Structure 1
């Protein structure tokens, strides 16, 4: 199945790249309360360890990232003007399909509701790149994705070093490998403007929260699945083996993560 959800969003303003994966305060209507300023607050006790606000938001972030980077990878396979851009596009599709499989496996175990669309800003990136071609596409593709992956890389490291939940920790391990691979692929295109990209990576976006937050999934609509390519090389976490082990930390299943 190809990811084909149409969307609108916020594009670059004045050519400046805005940070995509800023802290997400997911809507309360999803059963996920907004970030309270205490990201280490435990919101659920589970058999795999306590679940904190930042653990929950991380799972949502990984899912949302795939919902725009996977279709951008598909666009790159069609429009890429160099072998390096096409190779990077293959890595995007392959890596995010595997991460998505892991997210969708652990979310119900932890009572986390996942989005089926990326944020308006992220969908804006898809629209922008889908409307470009040639050298401009290749250059924006490499710089946007280098910036966004660089932004989330520190978040992955923080979650991996602090979470007490074994399911979230396994996702962080997989995300760490995937994000580092994608950073390397963008750099190998030879198109990354490091001064511009690193500035944008470390500068907070001046956008409303609504532009940075994925919408809730529509009731009654089938879940969006990011299908692995036929030649997939990335492997999702073996959740059956991990979930079966547990940690002995609390009851199962988890109470609502809100």
Structure 2
């Protein structure tokens, strides 16, 4: 792989790369009491991370379908579109129920991944696509497991169940391309550099801006998590401390 990709991969595995960093060092601090269980900082940030992941991986999946030079790369792109559309639906359902504001744009770092892959073509695109996505999914896998094992909020737990299945599926299809450099992926996942918060935090949505919706493909196989009640009119609203 070229030098440009090497520089990009050096920053991939920062733990907060798929969302915002928490505002305190105690991620277990309860920020709201809801009818679905207490909501911690880690829970809230996880919902934002899942949303932010879809905002860059969904368009990258579309690129793979259009530009991939092998059947395996095209298939991997289809899985990204399918999986993140379903995860995004779940995020958009539960966020208002938990009083969580979702971003409409990925973080600057994530937007950089999209820009790089948009500039790639041919086999270079295939290689960069498979390695970037394998490293990012490998890095977030442990985060999903931690949230699933610690959250006391049933809505966040359901999202973590869905995310676990989706991330594992995406790891698998990236590996099936035959292009993943496993030594490099392991190194990036176990020795991540630190990045400024501004690079890894998706910007808040502009006031009055319509919410971005990731549309499921016509042949979608992934399904959102069913949630109780109407997310457009949550009751009761959580009380934020």
TM-score (norm 2): 0.92
SS in 2 for 1:23: coil
Superposed CA deviations along residues 125-161 of structure 1, whole A, max 9, x for unmatched, are 0000010011110001000000000011000000000
In structure 1, which of residues 82, 86, 110 is the aligned counterpart of residue 74 of structure 2?
86
In structure 1, which of residues 174, 180, 197 is the aligned counterpart of residue 162 of structure 2?
174
SS in 2 for 1:68: helix
1:52 and 2:40 are equivalent in the alignment? yes
State the partner residue of 2:105. Answer: 117
Q: Does the CA contact (< 8 Å) of 1:20 and 1:121 recur in 2? A: no
State the partner residue of 2:121. Answer: 133
The runs of 5 or more residues in structure 2 that have no matched partner are none
The runs of 5 or more residues in structure 1 that have no matched partner are 1-10, 28-33, 244-250
Q: What displacement does 1:20 show?
A: 5.2
SS in 1 for 2:37: coil
In structure 2, which of residues 23, 48, 57 is the aligned counterpart of residue 35 of structure 1?
23
With over 3 angstroms needed to count, the CA separation of the structure-2 counterparts of 1:175 and 1:15, relative to structure 1, is closer
Rounded Cα–Cα distance in structure 2 between residues aligned with 1:97 and 1:15: 26
What RMSD over aligned residues (CA atoms) do the two structures have, in Å?
Answer: 2.1
Rounded Cα–Cα distance in structure 2 between residues aligned with 1:104 and 1:229: 17
1:252 and 2:236 are equivalent in the alignment? yes
State the partner residue of 1:22. Answer: 15
Q: How many residues align?
A: 235
Q: What displacement does 1:241 show?
A: 6.5
Q: Does the CA contact (< 8 Å) of 2:34 and 2:98 recur in 1? A: yes
Rounded Cα–Cα distance in structure 2 between residues aligned with 1:131 and 1:114: 28
Q: What displacement does 1:58 show?
A: 0.3
Superposed CA deviations along residues 169-227 of structure 1, whole A, max 9, x for unmatched, are 00000000000000000000000000011111222234211000000101111100000
With over 3 angstroms needed to count, the CA separation of the structure-2 counterparts of 1:36 and 1:15, relative to structure 1, is closer
State the partner residue of 2:188. Answer: 200
Q: Does the CA contact (< 8 Å) of 1:20 and 1:122 recur in 2? A: no
